[in-house]
Amino acid sequence: MDFTFTEEQRAATEAAEAVFAGVAPDAVPSPALTRGAVAEDFDRALWSRLAGADLLSLVLAEEHGGAGLDPLALCLVLRESAKVLARVPLLETAAVALAVDRYGGDALRARLLPPVGRGDLVLTVGASGRTGHDPAELAVTARRDTGTGTGTGTGTGQWVLDGVQTAVPWAQSADLIAVPARLDGGRAVLALVPPDSAGAVLAEQISTSGERFAELSLDSVRIDASGLIDAEGAWEWLRLLLTTGTCALALGLGERVLSMTAEYTGKREQFGFPIATFQAVAVQAADRYIDLRAMAATLWQAAWRLGPARGSAGLGGPLPVAADVAVAKIWASEGVRRVVQTAQHLHGGFGADTDYALHRYHAWAKQLELSLGPAAAHEEALGDLLAAHPLD
């Protein structure tokens, strides 16, 4: 079997490396020294460069100006972005755009995807539910506005949304927020909500990494049926892609932190020798390298299984794709935490210096560790899947 990346995937990685090469992790104030958000908006200049390099259209279908690549290519770009703590809604915009491409109607795809690829339309998603601990699709309800439309399906008239989604990233800067919502029968749909809709309120929240988040409250917010994606499995697939993308960010961040640690321990001397030559230091660094290799293997497996085909729920296997995503998130959550903790330990007091970038990576790592559920939540989900699908 050939596990190497394709030529197109390698080209996407090289393009991402070139774009992110000029990004400084300390371009904004330190979250440790800032009351409130580190900046009012994301890095618009970087966003424009990503669009110019065709990285925002990477996973879009060719008929909408994209390259038609798969989630694995997106994860390769996300890994590079995390190495420099790139402050852009790349994961959220690309994931929602992919969900629209796979599960949305022709008119919705034609309306949204070309401007996404050009960098003119910013998307985000409310995936944390009411509290961050409950399923996101249970936090918002969707019902038909009985005063509009005459059809009985979800594709006509207007819909009314009520509920709350917490910790919506980049909400203040987004043009549309994808909101999972449940119908009366319990089925989940995806609603694309303009943040300035009547009845929609954004309450300021700050992430652990110092970025602007928001609690989105929906009070009888009306959206046209053309902004509702009701295809079976659309929200579940988007949730899995968001989780997998978060694992890619954790991998890239962890790789950069381990590289910083290797550079520091190779120069820092004690008793006349670089501390990297001490057995206790070398063993800890080796353990973290193993963590990163496990994070990478489980990430690529999950990204591959999400499937390349439009409308696909994922490639086949002995367990549903959700099991592979759960394994990847378990390793990412635990692994990135261990990597940054070891880095802080081996850097000594220098790791806490706010003039040095390591403390920024630590803050981002904590945000990623708990984003979309900590390891324990995914271990429970994996246990449920194993119980429901016994392996012969």
- What single-letter amino acid sits at 307? G
Strands 123-125 and 212-224: unpaired
- pLDDT of 315 reads 67
Alpha helices by DSSP H, listed for the chain, are 7-20, 44-52, 71-83, 90-103, 106-118, 234-267, 279-305, 321-347, 358-370, 375-388
**Chain centroid offset of residue 383 CA:** 23
Strands 212-224 and 200-206: antiparallel
Let me know: does 101 contact 127? Beta carbons within 8 Å: no
| 132 or 3, which is more confident | 132
- What single-letter amino acid sits at 3? F
- pLDDT of 134 reads 86
Q: What is the mean pLDDT of residues 182-189?
A: 94
Kindly indicate the confidence band of residue 317, based on its pLDDT and cuts at 50, 70 and 90.
confident
- pLDDT of 331 reads 98
Largest CA distance in the chain: 82
Q: What is the pLDDT of residues 147-170, one digit of tens each?
A: 755 444 555 689 999 999 999 999
Of 12-26, 195-209, 304-318, 326-340, the poorest mean pLDDT is in 304-318
Q: What is the pLDDT of residues 255-280, one digit of tens each?
A: 999 999 999 999 998 898 998 989 99
Q: What is the pLDDT of residues 191-212, one digit of tens each?
A: 999 999 999 999 999 999 999 9
Question: Is the alpha carbon torsion for 55, 58, 61, 62 positive or negative?
Answer: positive
Let me know: does 215 contact 167? Beta carbons within 8 Å: yes
- pLDDT of 151 reads 47
Q: What is the pLDDT of residues 52-106, one digit of tens each?
A: 999 999 999 999 999 999 999 999 999 999 999 999 999 999 999 999 999 999 9
Backbone angles phi, psi at 266, to 5 degrees: -75, -20
Q: What is the pTM of this model?
A: 0.95
- What single-letter amino acid sits at 181? A
Helix (H) or strand (E) run with residue 205 in it:
strand 200-206
For residue 45, pLDDT beyond 60: yes
Q: What is the pLDDT of residues 197-255, one digit of tens each?
A: 999 999 999 999 999 999 999 999 999 999 999 999 999 999 999 999 999 999 999 99
